Amino acid sequence: MATETVQPIRFVGQACGQLELLDQTLLPQQLTYITCADVETVWEAIKMLRVRGAPAIGISAAYGVVVGLQTATGKSDEEFWARFDEVTDYLAESRPTAVNLFWALNRMKEKALSLKAAGKSIAEVHADLLTEAIAIHNEDREMCHAIGKHGANLLHSGQGVLTHCNAGGLATSEYGTALSVFFTAQDQGKRLHVYVDETRPLLQGARLTAWELMQRQIPATLICDSMAAQVMKEGRVQAIVTGADRIAANGDSCNKIGTYALSVLAKYHGIPFYIAAPSSTFDLSIESGDEIPIEERKPEEITNGMGKRTAPEHVKVYNPAFDVAPAELIAGIITEHGVISPVNKENVAAMLSSGG
């Protein structure tokens, strides 16, 4: 029997309440929640990957707006709206790649402007913005379940599947995106064996995905990233499913570094490579993956992995956090509306405009 999925994000109380985030940097050793009583704590949690995964970042940022406005609720209208701009601009600086961050902040801005135009009081605006953040949270939960249903239809009982990084409940609101496909298949009675890339250098696959699958009692085998090709060659894998942090208009999909390599390997071995992501992950303002900004993180994540130095002092380091799988290597993008296949600009636009 499957156990309950962990809730990585929860808001306690009314608009003047507090946001609680599961600190994913401490998993799997500790299950600890951070209390975010100010927007600076929310920003730090997003920046330092205490909360991670594009949908979870967006949800946390929406709640972060509510938390950040708590210091302005007793002030003048002018001061409140100045604080609103300050908070949203500040949160937008936390991570550059995950489009859900900007999508959620823009949605909160649009909601705030409509409330302002309607003549709502500061207290009413603050309360209604919490309602909007909760709606974003709940909608993501529903989207994840819908993604799981569409994706599970692509898999068959007895198959081996491979995933990269963490695109489960920890990265979203409940079931996740890529892992929702596996969780839903399990709910349907399908037996899968999941091969989990460790996902260097921060080991999200080893620390988080393996843990989530074990919580759900889904058979899983952890492998080094460099073992993926051998596992495919041996015929252990019949499908690959990963998440995405930003998808361009043509279907090029940006995800955790190492995803591009998997898409190339999958093509060579004749294995379908799928991306699972909600519609909020698409950025139609970007024509192709060449335009997606790639975050480069600190050298210490490689030279001092998990707190231990494993490289010579002063060695040069290149540490891009993401790469892009080209649309032509993707068998299908699994969304809450259905599966986009073949993946191209026309089919992406048709799926998003029609809602399925």
Task: Tell me the catalytic residues.
Answer: 245
Tokens 């994840």 appear where?
144
DSSP state of 296: B
Percent helix, strand and coil across the chain, each to the nearest 5:
45, 15, 40
**CB of 334 closer than 8 Å to CB of 275:** yes
DSSP state of 25: G
What is the Cα–Cα distance from 296 to 234, expressed in whole angstroms? Answer: 34
Cis peptide before 342 (omega within 30 of 0): yes
**CB of 111 closer than 8 Å to CB of 133:** no
Cα 206 to its chain centre, rounded Å, is 17
List all residues 6 or more positions away from 349 whose beta carbon is below 8 Å from its beta carbon: 249, 284
Phi, psi at 198, each rounded to 5°: -65, -30
User: E-strand spans in 298-345?
Assistant: 322-325, 332-334, 339-340
Residue 211 CB neighbour total at 10 angstroms = 22
**Quick one: angle between helices 99-117 and 54-68, nearest 10?**
40
Q: 267-283 as b/e, with b when 16 or more CB fall inside 10 Å?
A: bebebbbbbbbbbbbbb
What is the Cα–Cα distance from 53 to 166, expressed in whole angstroms? Answer: 7
What is the Cα–Cα distance from 175 to 234, expressed in whole angstroms? Answer: 30
**In the numeric block, which tokens belong to residue 88?**
């949203």
Rg, C-alpha atoms of the chain: 20
Residue 264 CB neighbour total at 10 angstroms = 14
